[in-house]
Amino acid sequence: MSFESLKGRKILVHDMCLRDGMHAKREQISLAQMVKVATALDHAGVPMIQVTHGAGLGGNSIQHGFAPHTNEAYISAVAEAVTHTKISVLLIPGLGTMKELQSAHECGARSVHVATHCTEADTAQQHIAYGRKLGMDTSGFLMMAHLNSPEGLAAQARLMESYGAQTIFVTDSAGYMLPDDVHARVSALRAVLKPETEIGFHGHHNMGMGIANSLTAIAAGASRIDASVAGLGAGAGNTPLEVFVAVCERLGIETGCALFPLMDIAEEIILPMMDHMVRINREALTLGYAGVYSTFLLHAKRAEARYGVPARDILVELGRKKMIGGQEDMIEDTALTMAKERGIKVSHAA
């Protein structure tokens, strides 16, 4: 595959540090850190950044962890700090609601990813319609896209488009897809969606494919790329934004972002924020290899510490049981069941 033909294409780069990165930080990014990162990204010309709890609006919960501040507080603080960058939020129906979308909008959010599992687009109808009603730039976000066929995914994309979504994202939540998988899915969407409907790609770097998959998506017709400075995100992180921008410069793809400042943000702001090195470690690679939701990583490690079942074994079992995003409760449940089966004594378990 040659990417030479992409010269001159204009791409909207969308940073995920302050949303997907919340997962990697166990939801513990402070208000001051949010403002610092957002201000720096704004100065570096990043046109859009996502700001919320890792699980999006409504994410503060026992299931997904509690951030030190409300989504409203984060969004308001960032909205005050930035001048050009548009703020987006994530909304997963079943967790977040339209009430929360309304208050995010009041705080300054102007774009929304309405996210469903790749086969359940019809749970997003009211939220997509409401995003449009609020005048927000509204995307449908089809998660775990490797679990649906290209044709099946295209049909789901059409549903979201019919509800009013202006962009449809192919979302590789597990970091499982290889470039051919991405090409097939983005092409299938491009073939059925209206010409004015944009296509986006959201990658995870669990198999080291973040950049290659994003370029492949662009070649197949995508015009929006989710990425994250220094890759701060769930699993092995998102497509590293500064690397992606550097590759785009070499290929002549226009992002409007300033490369050197982004490199500095990665090195000087994001890297020191990391509690652990976001990299393709054993468990993150297991996610990509087995096709498991990237956010499960740290939950599985916590279950390992508590119940004595290796995180990799838990992740493989979750993949086998076809668990999807949002089922974080099943990590502890699966660890408890596996501990019982292996005769591991679990204190406090009835």
Tell me whether residue 28 or residue 126 sits nearer to another protein (CB atom): 126
Min dist CB 173 to another protein, Å, is 14
Q: At 171, which amino acid appears?
A: T
User: Which of 83-113 are b and which e, b meaning 16 or more Cβ less than 10 Å from the residue's Cβ?
Assistant: eebbbbbbbbbebbebebbebbbebbbbbbb
Among 25, 86, 117, 204, binds another protein (CB under 8 A): 117
Of the candidate spans 44-52, 61-69, 74-82, 252-260, the one that interacts with another protein by CB under 8 A turns out to be 61-69
Min dist CB 344 to another protein, Å, is 13
321 binding another protein? (CB under 8 A): yes
Q: At 256, which amino acid appears?
A: G
Of the candidate spans 21-29, 120-128, 208-216, 228-236, the one that interacts with another protein by CB under 8 A turns out to be 120-128
Two tokens at 326? 């949002």
Residue 23 appears among annotated catalytic residues: yes
Residues contacting another protein: total by CB under 8 A: 36
Rounded to a whole number, what is the largest CA-CA distance in the chain?
Answer: 63
Tell me whether residue 33 or residue 327 sits nearer to another protein (CB atom): 327
Min dist CB 231 to another protein, Å, is 27
SS3 sequence of 30-69: CHHHHHHHHHHHHHCCCCEEECCCCCCCCCCECCCECCCC
Of the candidate spans 88-96, 248-256, 260-268, 281-289, the one that interacts with another protein by CB under 8 A turns out to be 88-96
Among 97, 102, 103, 187, binds another protein (CB under 8 A): 97
Among 122, 151, 180, 249, binds another protein (CB under 8 A): 122
Tell me whether residue 159 or residue 243 sits nearer to another protein (CB atom): 159
What is the CA 41 to chain-centroid distance, rounded?
18
Q: Kindly identify the residues of this chain, within the stretch 258-287, that bind another protein according to CB under 8 A.
A: none
Tell me whether residue 92 or residue 220 sits nearer to another protein (CB atom): 92
Of the candidate spans 35-43, 69-77, 87-95, 206-214, the one that interacts with another protein by CB under 8 A turns out to be 87-95
- Residue 286's beta-bridge partner residues? none
Integer Cα distance of 131 and 140 in angstroms:
10
Of the candidate spans 17-25, 122-130, 192-200, 205-213, the one that interacts with another protein by CB under 8 A turns out to be 122-130
- From 23, 105, 113, 183, the catalytic residue: 23
Tell me whether residue 264 or residue 332 sits nearer to another protein (CB atom): 332
Q: How many CA atoms lie within 13 A of 191 on its CB side?
A: 12
Contacts of 284 (CB under 8 A, 6+ apart): 175, 206, 235, 236, 294, 297
Tell me whether residue 277 or residue 305 sits nearer to another protein (CB atom): 305
Tell me whether residue 84 or residue 320 sits nearer to another protein (CB atom): 320
Among 61, 151, 268, 277, binds another protein (CB under 8 A): 61
Contact indicator for 243, 291 with CB cutoff of 8 Å: no
Query: Exposed, middle or buried by CB within 10 Å (0-12, 13-18, 19+), for 272?
Result: exposed
What is the CA 49 to chain-centroid distance, rounded?
12
Min dist CB 334 to another protein, Å, is 9
- Give the number of other Cβ atoms within 10 Å of residue 195's Cβ: 7
Closest to 244 measured CA to CA, from 210, 200, 269: 210
Interacting residues with another protein (CB under 8 A): 61-63, 93-95, 97-99, 117, 119-120, 122-123, 125-127, 147, 306, 321-327, 329-330, 332-333, 336-337, 346, 348-350
